[in-house]
Amino acid sequence: MNLWDSVLIAVRALRVNLLRSVLTTLGIVIGVASVIILVAVGTGASSEVDKQIKALGTNMLVVFPGSMRVMGRQGGAGTDIPLSEIDVAGIRDKVPGVTAVAGQIEDSGPVVRGNSNWTSSLSGVHAEYASVRDWPIASGRDLDAADVRSGAKVAILGATVAKEIFPGEDPVGAAVRIKNVPFEVVGVLTAKGQSVMGRDQDDIVLLPITTARLRVSGKSQIQNDRVGRIYVKVDEGADMAEVQEDIESFLRQRRKTRAGAEDSFSVRNLAETMKARSEVLTTLSYLLAATSVISLIVGGIGIMNIMLVSVTERTREIGLRMAVGGRRRDIMLQFLVEAVSLCLLGGLIGIAIGVSASAVIAFVANWPVLVSPAVLGGALAAAAATGICFGLFPARRAALLNPIDALRSE
């Protein structure tokens, strides 16, 4: 008797007790479905974080003002002495391994064109900002050094702002009013989508930083050349940790920080932070998926139990097969195939439920999920392996029956 004959016999045997067969596979169904859902959610979240890392810009460090302490109380991040143009120039000129540097000051306000009005994030930036952030221009041109030097009234719109203010039109060359100041639109940024915190990165307007300080945000009472934060792009071949240490050393000297005193700034590698978050999400997902293996084990025990019952019910049939020439390995193969078939049936149902549930989660919760063929194949293989492991004992027990005793059984 070959393998195909064993499969046909197994299918007929399972169809005789169809309801019992389906109920027996429930443990396998739950195990496979939960593995697919958990891995899909975890992998999708990690993939989304990777996209956000790319959206931030590669090899990038961000310098923020620190937290001021007044009479023992922390003022919060960004309340210390602001960063300045001198800090930007010093990092650019004195720190090795730095490719480009751009400062940014942030504000918000209405962007008006005719009857269209949209409140957006307003960012005053240096000419290198788009290069540092790896944020190419979709149409028009980028800001240049002349715009920053002259305080030109020019603006670059994010994709969301362009869509809201100029629906179906090319805004390049058009005029808008930002806080009642006329600006010429010289470019539109490519779409970046949401940040990892859910903020729309495309809801932004870029202005020359000098223009933003003079006409939009207003002059700071503390520092006329204030820079809210500094983005630093590091050379591909440079060591990010060394560059970060050099920036910190320069700023300590520049801001006259005493030895052992708390820094009045912070330098962060956002990509590394997000990668760590991605790794945590992935690890947690796989730990949760590993717990789903318990369902497979429970389901496997159910398979073994029902196969032992099947062997007992069909003892006379087993004896008859042996009497007409059936070999022990044929009997063993027959029952092993039945066990694997039960598990594969449960695996297929579990895959259908898992994929459907993942799609529902993605739609209802707006959560990124990623169902890969490798995960589906692995889940089905795990179900088959469960059938082999837990079906081996009942199959071997059937094969070792004495033909005469089996024929005498009722």
> What is the pairing mode between strands 181-189 and 204-208?
unpaired
pLDDT per residue, tens digit, the chain (410 aa), is 566 666 676 677 677 777 777 778 888 888 888 888 878 877 777 676 666 665 555 578 889 886 655 444 444 454 567 888 899 999 999 999 998 899 999 889 999 998 889 999 999 999 999 888 888 899 999 999 999 999 999 999 999 999 999 998 899 999 999 988 999 999 999 988 776 566 788 999 999 999 998 888 766 556 678 888 899 998 887 888 889 899 989 988 888 877 777 777 888 886 666 666 666 666 766 776 677 777 788 888 888 888 888 888 777 877 877 777 778 887 888 888 888 888 888 889 999 999 998 888 888 877 778 788 888 888 888 888 888 888 888 888 888 877 776 666 65
| pLDDT of 76 | 46
Task: Give the CA distances from residue 331 to residues 16, 106, 187, in Å, rounded to whole numbers and listed in that order.
Answer: 19, 77, 76
Three-state secondary structure call for residue 124: strand
Q: Give the model's pLDDT for residue 352.
A: 92
Give the pLDDT score at 139: 92
Structure tokens given for 56: 């931030």
How does strand 226-227 pair with strand 154-157? unpaired
Full DSSP string of 2-63: -HHHHHHHHHHHHHHTHHHHHHHTHHHHHHHHHHHHHHHHHHHHHHHHHHHHHHH-TTEEEE
Closest CA to 407 of 336, 321, 325: 321
Nearest-angstrom CA–CA distance, 30 and 26: 6
User: How confident is the model at residue 276, as a pLDDT?
Assistant: 64
End-to-end CA distance of the chain: 26
DSSP string, 70-119: ETTEEEEET-SSPEEHHHHHHHHHHSTTEEEEEEEEEEEEEEEETTEEEE
Q: What is the pLDDT of residue 68?
A: 52
The whole-number pLDDT of residue 309 equals: 82
Domain boundaries along the sequence of the chain:
3-52+275-408, 81-263
Which of 232, 227, 229, 252 is closest to 98 using CA atoms? 232
β-strands 98-113, 175-178: how paired?
antiparallel
Whole-angstrom distance, CA of residue 130 vs CA of residue 306:
65
Q: How many residues does the chain have?
A: 410
Sequence letter at residue 13: A
CB 391 within 8 A of CB 335: yes
Q: Give the pLDDT confidence score for residue 38 in this predicted structure.
A: 79
Query: What pLDDT, on the 0 to 100 scale, is given for residue 73?
Result: 47
Tokens of 205: 């307007």
d(CA 75, CA 358) in angstroms, rounded, equals 44
Residue 101 · residue 88 · CB < 8 Å: yes
pLDDT of amino acid 153: 94
261: left (phi over 0), alpha (psi -120 to 50) or beta: beta
Helix count and strand count (H, E) for the chain: 14, 14
Write down the residue that tokens 């020359």 correspond to: 208
